[in-house]
């Protein structure tokens, strides 16, 4: 059950809103509902967007900035823009090429993919499609951790992303009510039939052994790769992740699809940045929809952002071209705002460039 993306030749997208609208037109109703939904009563889903409305960018007229540099790097991975794509699973639901197309778009734009464990294509297939972009392999803290991490490294990836907030799927009411039951093949790109337990089948049975930080510390130490702890919402968890050896923190509430109600990622970002105190990079996902959102996240301390739904919208709207246009439009808006705020480069997008919105 996949969407039919718009013909790229006819997809002259000039705004991210056009891409979103095209995606919803292209997707079957049940797939669109799955993509747009969150856990519980979707308070967290709404809070993620509302959090960005509480901040404003402080213009800096006559700054002399005309050609800001949007490039940066995370874990030694060069990025033309401080944006990576998220490891959203079931990517074949949104376009036949799924994360193959996402990675090719990232390579063309000079950014990078976090490639999912529960995706339609294997780590090796995505890496073969775009080795320059397929740099981070995502996996779960599960019995097969060592064997999966070994496959990620063998495929040429240079870092891991460990999802720590998903020992069980969130209670996703809207998806339950729709009775959405996609073909398991869309989640099974990394399933190997050698008797090794795999997270795809485990999630299907909704029985997952929950790990502790101690166990993750031991498992991660056996891998010769840096790793990102994805799914951090508190300073305590950030401290525990660093103690476990994490090389970066990804502040995330899983796009509002796990705990509901939970704090918006942007709301907790400044406190986590203060706790981390520069020891490792801090990334943010959940709720990012515009270049202005990227600017605000950077100003509040994120080193980069990770986009999930935005990338899926682009994929559903026009495959690789749609993802590429999504990244291009984010870049264009971010660059415009950097000029208006007088910030010549990414390190200059600092707390002083934003302020709390005045109450009405």
Contacts for 175-178: CB closer than 8 Å, 24+ residues apart: 175/33, 175/34, 175/37, 178/30, 178/33, 178/34
| Residues in Cβ contact with 340 at an 8 Å cutoff, skipping those fewer than 6 apart | 57, 59, 60
Residue 210 has, within 13 A of its CA and on its CB side, a CA count of 5
Here the tokens at position 70 are 């949007």
Q: What is the C-alpha to C-alpha distance for residues 164 and 84, in angstroms, rounded to an integer?
A: 19
Q: Do 238 and 272 touch, CB atoms closer than 8 A?
A: yes
Q: Report whether 255 contacts 38 (CB < 8 A).
A: yes
Q: Which residue(s) pair with 251 in the sheet?
A: 232, 284
Residues that are catalytic: 254
Sheet strands (E) in 174-295:
227-232, 248-251, 282-284
Residues belonging to the chain: 360
């Amino acid at each position: 059950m996949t969407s039919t993306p718009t013909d790229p030749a006819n997809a002259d997208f000039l705004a991210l809103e056009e891409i979103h609208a095209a995606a919803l037109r292209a997707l079957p109703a049940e797939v669109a509902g799955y993509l747009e939904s969150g856990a519980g009563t979707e308070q967290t889903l709404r809070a993620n967007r509302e959090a960005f409305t509480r901040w404003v960018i402080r213009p800096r007229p006559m700054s002399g900035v005309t050609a800001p540099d949007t490039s940066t790097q995370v874990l030694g991975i060069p990025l033309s823009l401080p944006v990576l794509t998220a490891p959203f699973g079931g990517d074949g639901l949104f376009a036949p090429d799924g994360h193959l197309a996402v990675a090719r778009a990232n390579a063309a734009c000079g950014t990078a993919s976090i490639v999912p464990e529960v995706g339609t294509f294997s780590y090796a297939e995505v890496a073969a499609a775009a080795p320059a972009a397929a740099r981070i392999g995502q996996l779960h803290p599960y019995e097969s951790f060592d064997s999966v991490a070994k496959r990620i490294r063998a495929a040429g990836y240079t870092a891991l992303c460990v999802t720590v907030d998903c020992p069980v799927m969130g209670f996703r009411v809207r998806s339950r009510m729709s009775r959405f039951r996609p073909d398991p093949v869309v989640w099974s790109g990394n399933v190997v039939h050698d008797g090794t337990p795999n997270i795809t089948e485990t999630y299907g049975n909704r029985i997952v052994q929950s790990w502790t930080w101690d166990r993750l510390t031991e498992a991660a130490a056996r891998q010769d790769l840096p790793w990102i702890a994805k799914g951090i919402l508190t300073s305590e968890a950030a401290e525990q992740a660093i103690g476990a050896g994490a090389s970066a923190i990804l502040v995330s509430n899983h796009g509002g699809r796990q705990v509901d109600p939970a704090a918006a990622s942007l709301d907790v970002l400044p406190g986590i940045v203060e706790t981390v105190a520069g020891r490792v990079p801090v990334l943010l996902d959940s709720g990012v929809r515009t270049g202005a959102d990227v600017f605000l996240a950077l100003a509040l301390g994120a080193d980069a952002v990770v986009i999930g739904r935005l990338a899926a919208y682009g994929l559903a709207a026009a495959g690789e071209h749609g993802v590429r246009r999504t990244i291009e439009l984010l870049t264009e808006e971010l660059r415009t705002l950097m000029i208006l705020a007088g910030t010549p480069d990414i390190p200059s997008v600092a707390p002083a460039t934003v302020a709390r919105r005045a109450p009405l």
